[in-house]
Every structure is written in C-alpha cells, then in structure tokens.
Amino acid sequence: MNLLVHKSMWLLIWLRFKGWLRAQFSGKSVMRLVGAVVGAVVFLLWMLNAVMWPVLTGRRSSKLLTTTPEDVINFASLGLGAITAMTLIFGGGTKLMTFRPAELDFVVPGPYSPRTLINYKLLTLFASGLFSGIFYSIFFARHTGHFVSAFVAGVLATLFATLAGITLGLVGEISGSRKLLVLGVARGAIAAGVAWIVYRFVIAAREAQVAAVQAAEAAGTDGAKRLEAMNGAISVRTRVAGVMEETIVSVLTLPFRPFGNLFAASTFAQACLWASVCVIMVVALWSAIVFMQRAWQEMAVRVSEQTAKAAEKMVKGTRERGTLSKRLAAFAPQLQWMGPTRAIARRHLTASMPMVIFAPLLGAMVPLALSYMVRTSEDTQAPAIIGAIAGFGMLPAVIFIAPALLRMDFRNDLDHIETLKTLPFSATRLVSAQLFTPLLVSTLMAWALAGAAMFVGREAILKHIDLGVVVLVFAAMPIIILIVLCIDNALFLLVPERPMQAKGVNVAVTGKRVLTMAARLLTFGITLAPAALLAWLVYFFSDSLFAAGVTALVIAGGAAIAGVLLVAWTFRRFDVSRDMPE
C-alpha cells in the first residue's frame, strides 16, 4: 500500500485515530467524564436497537416497514442522487477534500508528491466513508439486502458523491477564466434535472391526494375504512416506482442505480456484480482527480483556508453577514426605550434582520399553504381545519425549538462574556437586552404561525373557543418563549458549550448534550407545573376557561421574571477564567 501513500501517512492516520480515542475519555473534568459515559451509553443503546430490532422482530415483519428490493433500489437511488446533486450544486465536495489547518502546515509541505497528497486526502475521505457505511448498514439494516452489501454500498456511495463534487470543482478550476461559465452551466443542468424530478413527484403527490380524497368519499363514514382506503389510494411505493420508470427520470437516476442495487443485493453474486460496477465508477472519478493534480492542490489549499476560517467563526459563534443582512440591518429599530443597553440588543438584532423578517413569513406560510394545497372540493371545511391543526400542532415545536436554534444571546457570546462583564449595566438589564432579539424573533414566528392557523380555521375554532381565550393563548406565547430562553441561557452559563465543535465528533460532548437536553425538558416541566396546576384548580372550581387561562398567564409571567433573575445570577457567577470548551 506504500505505492498509494507514504508510510508516514499511515502512521499519521493511526496517530490521529489514537489521539481521537484518547481525547474521548481524557477526564479533564467530572462533567466531561460523565458526558463521555452518557454519550457512549446512548450510542450503544442506539446501536443495540438498530441491530437487535431485525433480530427480535424478524426482518421486515412490520407491515409498515415492509420493503421490496425494488423499493430499496428506488429509494436508495433517489437518496444518493439527491445527496450527489446537492454536493455538485452547492460545491460541498470541494469542502470535503480540504486539508485541516495542521495538515496544511505539516503534511502539504512534507516530502510528498502532489499525487501522494491527493491519495492521502482521498484515503482519509475513504476512512470517513467507512463510518458512513457503518451508519447506513445499521440504520437501514431492516430494509437492505444484507448487512455487508449495505456497508460496502454506503462506503462507495459516500465516496462517489464526494468525488463527483471534487471532480466538478476541478473541472471548473482548470477552465481558468471560463470557470464561472463552466460551473454555472454544469450546475444549472443538474438543477434542471433535479427540478424535473421534483416536478414529477409533485404531480404524483397531487394525483395521490385526489385519489385519496375520492377513495375516502367512496369508503363511507367509517373512520377506519376511510383511512384504509386513503392509504391504499396513496400507495407511496407504487407512485415512486411509477415516477422512476419515466424515461427522463430513469436516465437521470441511472448513475445511482448500481449503488441502489448494491444496497438491495441479497446474494453474494449480486453483491459482487454491483460492487464491481460501483468500484469502477469510484475509481474512474478518483483517477480523474489524480489526473488534474495541479489544479487540485491550488484549489485544495484555497478552499482549506476558507473552510478553516469559516469553521473558526462558527466555533466562536460569529457569523459572516451576507449582503442582504447588511442591507436589512439599516431597518433595525433603534430601541431608544431600552436606554444604554439598547446597544447590546441591537448588536444581535442588526445581525438577525433577515430572520426577523423572513421567519414570521415562513411560519405563516405553513397553515396557509396547507389549507390551499389540500383544497379538493368546494363544500368542505377540511382544508381549513387541516391547515389550522397543522399550524397549532407546530406551535409547541416553534416555541421550544426556535429559541434553541436561534442562539442570538449568551450562547453565541462565549468569547465575549469577558467584555460583557465589563459593561456598566446591572446583570438583570444586561440579560434583558441579551434575550430581547431571540424573544422577538421567536415570538413573531409563533404569532405568525398561530395567526395564520387562526385565520384559516377561524370559523371552526371560534365555534368552540371564546375569543378571550384565543387572546390569552397569543399572550402566553412570548412568556413561554422567555421561560425557554431563560432555561437555555442559564444552563449554558452553568455548563457552557460551543454551537459547533472545533474538533469533530466527540462522545463526551454528545453525552453532555443529551444531559443538557434532559435538564432543559425537566426544568421546563417543573417551571410550568405550578401554573398548570393552579389553572386546573381555578377551572375546576369556576368552570371558566378564561379565568384558568389568566391564572396560568400570571403565574407563568412570574416564572419568566424569575427566569431572567436566574440568568442574571448565573451570568454574575460565570467565571471567565474557567476552562472554556474548544
């Protein structure tokens, strides 16, 4: 194998793996050790579940999970096609072939030929493909033909998608001044192909929907029979197979079918045949990349540096502002009423203006679009009710998940806490200003979603619920969001973590996140329990939903204020000299 890469590169790969293992269980702190143990347990449980499921239940015993080899081929081809298309369109492949900063300083200047460097990089990609192979083979164990063929298919499919992305990037690179034209044409063609397939699936979905409604109407009034009739009429597999058989779609997905066949292969002969085809495709791309080695090194170094800078920014929580963001920042309100702390709030707000504007629009679109899309006959309220249910159904997710994802507060300021501590504001005022933007964005999103749901289902909703209660629901949203934000920020200040890990996959961090999530849910439940209990008591004695709602609102409001004070306390006790997560 020394012909492929220098023996020192094998040593480096081994040393890095050894170092990674060592880092997983290096007990620098109790929290880290606990996190490592929990992370390992969670991983083992997942593995056990995925592996044992087919054994305990018998492969494909569940009716819902029954898949034929043709289904596997279709879905795997589509999935890999989608991944490859995304990689090619958004240039993901070029990012995957980048060198890590240490490799740029120690490996690239090393006594290696460009060909050896390429092989080393592709070998590391192959190594990461092994992990993908394990993941795919375990995760889809109940559907694929055989564990081994699924593993090989996973490895080769991951490598194929990546190599295709790198090859396209290199073709652009050697095109010189015509780079943008070449890449634009190639990516445009791929996007057109994807759009065509999506269009065919939308048409198929629409046909399925009409068939389902007709089948439901024909089935009478029995709910179970209607559901069964609708399920039969929709028949996802038949419709997917129908689309895949269309000439254009089958041609577009042809390069991915060997991988699909390998996933589905259940005999040794089949596996060998399809594995050979897949290997030939991967080796062809590998050879093309080696052929373009000069362009490769230029691009690899440049993209590596860009990726390293972007990763550093993400780790530190600083975002690169786009043109739209910079333009919209001018429209951010001045927040004069906040006094001197407005600078803190505006810092996050100006950076989040696209979110402030587009997140509510996005929220409102769900119920509106759903109510429109499912409109099949004139004399039914079903579309409106479906839209309203979907809107209100998504509300808890928005209220609970949006604040966790937005991270426009202390969670994005780990490297700035020292500076924040020097500012001449009380901790409470500072915390209020820090939480302002995520509270605003999340509330606008929740209100837009609930407002749209209310709009499309107004007749049905107001028939059963008083307007006063509806108003209370809307008033409760910012309060609950503030509680969630307070819990998240207090936990973060107690046990800080980075939004993205600088050092890749880490069992200890995964375990720590599982623990944090559990603590988050538990704290949320405990915080709102008194409000729910008292509201229930009020409702029990007064039989008034409105009175119960007001009670809950008042108590939850108190909890939110206590939450702000709690965050202020955790901020005051935050020791900036502690070991920060990297």
Residues forming contacts to other proteins in the complex (CB under 8 A) are 6-9, 11-12, 15-16, 19-20, 22-23, 26, 100-102, 104-106, 108-114, 294, 297-298, 301-302, 502-503, 582
For other proteins, which is the closer residue by CB, 16 or 142? 16
Residue 495 C-beta: closest distance to other proteins, Å = 20
For other proteins, which is the closer residue by CB, 468 or 504? 504
Distance, CA of 163 to CA of 290 (rounded, Å): 11
Determine whether 400 is exposed, middle or buried from the number of CB atoms within 10 Å of its CB (0-12, 13-18, 19+).
Answer: middle
Q: Output the CA torsion sign for 91, 283, 10, 300.
A: negative
Residue 111 C-beta: closest distance to other proteins, Å = 4
Distance, CA of 306 to CA of 287 (rounded, Å): 26
Going by C-alpha positions, the residue among 154, 159, 156 that lies closest to residue 140 is: 154
**Residues contacting 416, CB < 8 A, separation 6+:** none
Residue 115 C-beta: closest distance to other proteins, Å = 10
For other proteins, which is the closer residue by CB, 120 or 571? 120
Residue 298 C-beta: closest distance to other proteins, Å = 6
Give φ, ψ of 144 to 5 degrees.
-80, 165
For other proteins, which is the closer residue by CB, 7 or 63? 7
Q: What angle do CA 5, 6, 9 make, to 5 degrees?
A: 85
Question: For residue 149, what are its two tokens?
Answer: 């063929």
Residue 101 C-beta: closest distance to other proteins, Å = 4
Residue 163 C-beta: closest distance to other proteins, Å = 22
Residue 332 C-beta: closest distance to other proteins, Å = 32
> What Rg do the C-alpha atoms of the chain give, in angstroms?
28
Residue 162 near residue 288 (C-beta atoms within 8 A) = no
**Residues contacting 206, CB < 8 A, separation 6+:** none
Going by C-alpha positions, the residue among 385, 404, 500 that lies closest to residue 445 is: 404
Residue 8 C-beta: closest distance to other proteins, Å = 4
Residue 82 near residue 290 (C-beta atoms within 8 A) = no
For other proteins, which is the closer residue by CB, 294 or 458? 294
Determine whether 27 is exposed, middle or buried from the number of CB atoms within 10 Å of its CB (0-12, 13-18, 19+).
Answer: exposed
For other proteins, which is the closer residue by CB, 114 or 496? 114
For other proteins, which is the closer residue by CB, 106 or 536? 106
Q: What is the DSSP letter of 411?
A: G
For other proteins, which is the closer residue by CB, 346 or 498? 498
Residue 143 near residue 266 (C-beta atoms within 8 A) = no
**Residues contacting 182, CB < 8 A, separation 6+:** 171, 172, 175
For other proteins, which is the closer residue by CB, 313 or 458? 313
Residue 113 C-beta: closest distance to other proteins, Å = 5
